[in-house]
Structure formats: C-alpha cells, structure tokens
Amino acid sequence: MTTPTAAWIEIGAPDATRTRDFFAQLFGWRFEPVGGGFATTDSGVGAGLHGDDPSRDMVVYFGVDDLDAAVAKVRALGGSAPDPGPADPRFGRFVECKDADGVKFGLHEKNR
C-alpha cells in the first residue's frame, strides 16, 4: 500500500445549503449539486456535503490503491468496515471505517 494522503472529506450537516455557503465564503470553494447534497474539488482534496445529518460529522477519507485490500487490513487490525460497494462514476469507491477504538475515518479508491 502506498502512503495514504487525505483524498476526500465528507461533511454531514443539518442544513447543507447553509454549510455550503459557509465553506464557499470561507475558502472560496465552488460546489455543484450532487444527489441530495453538494460536492467540490476546489480544495485539492474533494469534499462532499450532505444535509439532514444531525451528527455534524466531518470524516476524512484516505486514498488507497486497492480498497478491498485496505478494508481487509482494517479488519485484520481490529477495526471495522462494511464491504465496499461499486464505484461512483464521478468519484470512485468509498467506505467509512472505524479503528479498533471506534474512531471514524474513510478509505477512498479513485476510478481506474
């Protein structure tokens, strides 16, 4: 596995439009509508924003070359991760994981 770097940030917010406007004004990011939320690649690290999320979580996704192998390693180390789903045609494959202490993080594999 190559050394992972932050590849994507997923932002959960109660009001996606309000949070979009905040980050757009703070960082100058331009968002486009995606599904029920928004996405940007202006930051150099992609960011997705979805609303109706009272958790207000921000999860960092680390880029990996082989998502299936990385998920297997997470599990072998005592962490948890669901089986990865299919790739999103625009953004690749994602899976949200937890380490052995329950700390959330994500893994991201770009489309090949």
46-74 pLDDT per residue, tens: 899 999 988 899 999 999 999 999 999 99
Distances 50 to 6, 19, 29 between C-alpha atoms, Å: 19, 9, 15
The confidence score (pLDDT) of residue 63 equals 93
Cβ(64)–Cβ(105) under 8 Å? Answer: no
Q: Tokens 């962490």 appear where?
A: 79
As a CATH number, domain 6-109 is 3.10.180.10
Domain ranges in the chain? 6-109
